[in-house]
Structure 1
Amino acid sequence: MTAASSTASSTASSAASFPASPFTTPPDRPHFRAWPRRLPTQVVLPDTSLWYNLEVSARRYPDKAAIRYFGGTVTFREMEAQATSLAGWLQQRAGVKKGDRVLLYMQNCPQFLLSYYAILRADAVVVPVNPMNRTEEFRHYITDAQAKVAICSADLAAGVEEANAGVPADAQLAHILVTEYADALPPTHVHPEDAPPAWLTAVHPLPAGYARWTDAMGARLAPGPHTAGPDDMAVMPYTSGTTGFPKGCIHTHRTVMHNVIGGATWSGNGSESVQLSVLPLFHVTGMQYGMNVPIYTGATVVMLPRWDREVAGRLISRYQVTHWTNIPTMVIDFLGSPNLSDFDLRSLRYIGGGGAAMPQAVAERLREQFGLSYIEGYGLSETIAPTHSNPLERPKQQCLGIPTFNTDARVIDPVTLQELPVGEVGEIIVRGPQVFKGYWGKPDATRDAFIEFEGATFFRTGDLGRMDEDGYFFLTDRLKRMINASGFKVWPAEVENLLYKHPAVQEACIIGTHDPYRGETVKAVVVLRAAARGNTTADDIIGWARDNMAAYKYPRVVEFVDALPKSGTGKVMWRQLQESENAKAGG
């Protein structure tokens, strides 16, 4: 068992600490030939917590805008004070102790940032949950993370109550703090054209026994001393897996800090920068580039809770946004705006992202029309965002980029585990300070995720790719069974598990199918129960799935079959169905 897997097996200790290991990249790796001269080849990490980043920025830039949101402003001084008060409530009223996991369940809004840093100030662990998750999905986070406290938005409170009621009494959430999105809105709107939509101003009934955000903040309770160190747990994002159940990725303050400092250095993000934050903050890329990096550098975050190309264009123009991390589908939509010529994009000096390849034609238009090179990168929840990124000075299109600071990446034969020559396709493995410490409570899965290679421990990404002669990596396929829908990872086994709850479904197999906008979308191949045949339509299945699954996850296409192809051992031959679907699309 690797050090990472043995550590992960001891996660019953709420205050688990994970000693750091030294990381150096062999100097003869080919990507150093493309390394920008402006950048150091390694970064040195501070022995401080993520909370300290906010504390420092609040001292350096107390009256500078930390967050701009629908015309309102939260300064760094105000952000630190509010997060500190909320940390006091978490400790004194909710009983949060060092290492406790706290669920954070809401759309992008200032309360997300305040809650995230309050949880860190309380020496606890942030467990961000996709707000698109439904009741059955949310219940898993309560039980698996062994959480006793959750902070959620009011529109999701009823679902939290229902999920919690379905959990054994000794495993239920004991405290639930609820905020209305309107709690963070300014009393008046300076820019009427960008007034908040109705869903942000709606008022929802509060379940009995739940605490109100305004009351918690108004209590102004002081937390105890901040004791979390760099090797204590900080954040536990969940990633779905082939077992069908999401797994918690253990990240310490140090693993997160590496990509905070590395991301800021790579992209040139400083105190004068303005970051458009539109990617979901529960997702590691949005979390790092839309929140943690600008808080570290003292930059301003301009928040957009949901993607809207027209509002995004006006915000970039109004606030002179310098950095915009996104997914390619946002850029494609943005360039299709009829008002594109009215937007002032001259302030933008960094635009990039990942999750899916940027179409070459779109990248060329972006460069020719606006002089911007789209900087693609690659990372996973297990690596808290990037392990690879394209240099700003020398990007390659539809390319993952080169390994970032202190990071070693190789391409190996997934069977023999031997390194492959330049240009040959194999599994990408990585090693670096940003790699997680293991899956929460799952030592076997952790053990399987790592290998010993050339005397060091590497993480197996499960992605197939190749490396060119310059050290740039290219993604070619997926070793694991996974669908990539607009940058969101969908694991078929998880969707199948949920789909089997439909009373008409006898068997189901989830595969990917081509979609002109999302790139790939979810298709369900379904065998109906005898009584449901002739009475159940594809729209019935899709409608039910929409109500019971996250929006990015539910099947958009349903095909009924009499039987699923199976192997001699009775296993569904999903690959046969996938290859047949690919052939239909000419893939």
Structure 2
Amino acid sequence: MFDRHFGVWPKGVPQHLTLPETSLYENLEVSARRFPDKPAILYYGSALTYAALKAEVDRLAGWLEQRCGVKRTDRVLLYMQNSPQFVIAFYAIQRLTAVVVPVNPMSRVEELRHIATDTGATTVLCGQELLGFAQPLLQAGVLQHAVVAAYRDHITAPTDLALPDVVTAPRAAVTVPGATGWADAITAGLTAEPHHATLDDWCVLPYSSGTTGAPKGCLHNIRGVMATAYGSIAWNPASAESVQLATLPLFHVTGMQNSMNGPILNGSTLVMMTRWDRKVAAELIRRHRVTHWRNITTMAIDFLSDPEVASFDLSSLLGIGGGGAAMPGAVAAKLKELTGLDYIEGYGLSETIAGTHINPVDRPKPQCLGIPVFDIDSRIVNPDTLEELGPNETGEIVTAGPQVFLGYWNRPEETAQVFFERDGQRFFRTGDLGYYDEEGYFFIVDRLKRMINASGYKVWPTEIEGMMYAHPGIREVCIIATPDAHRGETVKAVIVPKPGAADMTPEAIQAWCRERMAAYKVPRIVEFADALPKSATGKVLWRVLQEQEKAAAAAKPADAAD
């Protein structure tokens, strides 16, 4: 067991957590009994109490079971932006001991089709602005049922806050065959069978991707999800009186656990935003006395870049942190000057349903992943031999613990490739290269897997290449990362056009991509080439292009100085 970090373990925090043996739905049930009239969610000033939240969850669960045929272990797509309806849908699926498949609301038809067919899901719960992308799947019979939400329905009180267009949009009539309006499903008054679940039951199937192919599902049981939800409120101690600002997308495991499941387990209040807006965020912190805010680096940078941010009262904040990309030292210093708080960085993956490493609140290190948290055994190994390495030696980060996923959905061979046994434990190979220092803090150096990290969104080059090869004018394409001052990294496409191909401009390629993939996957930079570097067997040498790009980026400051 790796224990080097116990010397810097946060004061007053236990080294082991005994997990509650309640399901996620039972966590809501208990909080609703304890705090029925307390706001579970404050949505741009409109309150949804715990009792009202549970009541709507139960009615939606009745509809899903009685009208959509959802039963235990069935996969259900949850395709929405942050909203009270997202929380209600998540817990309604848990009420049936079915499996939530969270789908990025930036996904489009083909991305949605892949996840639906891969999981065998027949039901989707979606925002009304996203129904158009689910409609072709309903028409084709890939999906059979949809429940369609209008976020505005949960704006129940007047507000002077700037609301996103998707929130102000009035409820539209639902005329797509197989689809039902949210309000109709809720007012039907249907009741589901009694809830029963164990910690070993499946509950969440977020999609990630490895080194090859299309995204794949990471299957988690209730035990694993409880480990990081419960751990999140124990590491940076929170109580029922805590108020969590939910700006991270809830479909993503960090937002799901830190901004939804942890606070609901605790009986806390979620202050929710559908879209990021730095002024609205600052006003919500002031107005609702927010105590905890989990975000990503780009949000923090944008928040601080508002020239009026110092005019807001942020004194209620007790904890602020995040991940996705290293926090620049200058930004962390400015944030501490403003709030008096250190930015607490952490590290986790879809395969670990959020954080496995977090910095101690009382002894954080900058641009550091942190130390292994409760009941996590994390080590550094030689990626070729799996030989264990010592302090300050770079190798692959591997992790064993209760929150590590069960495996990739319907992919036993790929699952076998990322696990190995040691000391009676099942270690997960993260694909990230790093090291730990003498005190047991972990740092990331590079990645083994081919991935681009754009503002915390994981972009998988092989997936984008697969979609772009459908373009009639593309002969070959290679996707690489390029540095971006705001996003950290962004997507670059190097394309070999087919002879005589028409309309092959960067703008035309980007427009074509925007129609077929989530916006964060669309190449920000498009470059044309006569050929791509290849191995003797004809395999594209993407690393050669990536190294060339890194070298070119490193040379830019010197060029600018000339």
Please give the range of the TM-score, normalised by the shorter of the 2 chains: over 0.9
Question: 2-side partners of 1:449 and 1:198: how far apart?
Answer: 42
Moved segments of 4+, more than 6 Å: none
Which consecutive unaligned segments of at least 5 residues does structure 1 have?
1-25
Partner of 1:253: 222
Q: CA deviation at 1:230?
A: 1.0
Partner of 1:58: 32
Q: Relative to 1, partners in 2 of residues 1:522 and 1:205: Cα closer, same or farther, differing over 3 Å?
A: farther
Question: 1-side partners of 2:511 and 2:214: how far apart?
Answer: 22
Listed as ranges, the matches of 1:321-336 within 5 Å are 321-336=290-305
Partner of 2:311: 342
SS in 2 for 1:406: coil
CA contact (8 A) 1:375 1:392 kept: yes
Count of paired positions: 553
Partner of 1:222: 191
Higher relative contact order at CA 8 Å, sep ≥6: structure 1 or structure 2?
1
Question: 2-side partners of 1:115 and 1:104: how far apart?
Answer: 7
Partner of 1:351: 320
Partner of 1:97: 71
Question: 2-side partners of 1:164 and 1:462: how far apart?
Answer: 37
CA contact (8 A) 2:228 2:403 kept: yes
Partner of 1:555: 523
CA contact (8 A) 2:144 2:178 kept: no
Q: 2:154 aligns with which of 159, 177, 184?
A: 184
Q: 1:360 aligns with which of 325, 329, 352?
A: 329
Question: 2-side partners of 1:489 and 1:128: how far apart?
Answer: 15
Question: 1-side partners of 2:108 and 2:531: how far apart?
Answer: 29
Listed as ranges, the matches of 1:240-389 within 5 Å are 240-389=209-358
Partner of 2:402: 433
Q: CA deviation at 1:512?
A: 0.1
Q: CA deviation at 1:182?
A: 1.6
Correspondence 1:450 to 2:424: no
Q: CA deviation at 1:468?
A: 0.2
Q: Deviations over 1:80-130 (max 9, x none)?
A: 111011111111111111110000001000000000000000111100000
Amino acid at match of 1:487: G
Aligned CA RMSD, in angstroms, stands at 1.2
Q: 2:536 aligns with which of 551, 556, 568?
A: 568
Correspondence 1:36 to 2:5: no
Question: Identical aligned pairs, as a percentage?
Answer: 56
Question: 2-side partners of 1:205 and 1:581: how far apart?
Answer: 49
CA contact (8 A) 2:138 2:145 kept: no
Q: CA deviation at 1:209?
A: 3.2
CA contact (8 A) 1:244 1:492 kept: no
Question: 1-side partners of 2:486 and 2:340: how far apart?
Answer: 25
Q: CA deviation at 1:551?
A: 1.5
Q: Relative to 1, partners in 2 of residues 1:195 and 1:514: Cα closer, same or farther, differing over 3 Å?
A: closer
Partner of 1:578: 546
Q: CA deviation at 1:60?
A: 0.6
Question: 1-side partners of 2:319 and 2:11: how far apart?
Answer: 18
Q: 1:543 aligns with which of 474, 498, 511?
A: 511
Per the normalisation by structure 2, the TM-score is 0.97
Correspondence 1:484 to 2:458: no
CA contact (8 A) 1:329 1:517 kept: yes
Amino acid at match of 2:143: L
SS in 2 for 1:552: helix
Partner of 2:559: none
Listed as ranges, the matches of 1:195-234 within 5 Å are 195-203=162-170, 204=172, 206=174, 207-234=176-203
Which consecutive unaligned segments of at least 5 residues does structure 2 have?
556-562
CA contact (8 A) 2:137 2:143 kept: no
Partner of 1:11: none
Question: 2-side partners of 1:551 and 1:349: how far apart?
Answer: 34
Q: CA deviation at 1:195?
A: 4.2
CA contact (8 A) 2:464 2:479 kept: yes
Q: CA deviation at 1:162?
A: 1.5
Question: 1-side partners of 2:178 and 2:123: how far apart?
Answer: 13
Amino acid at match of 1:479: L
Per the normalisation by structure 1, the TM-score is 0.93
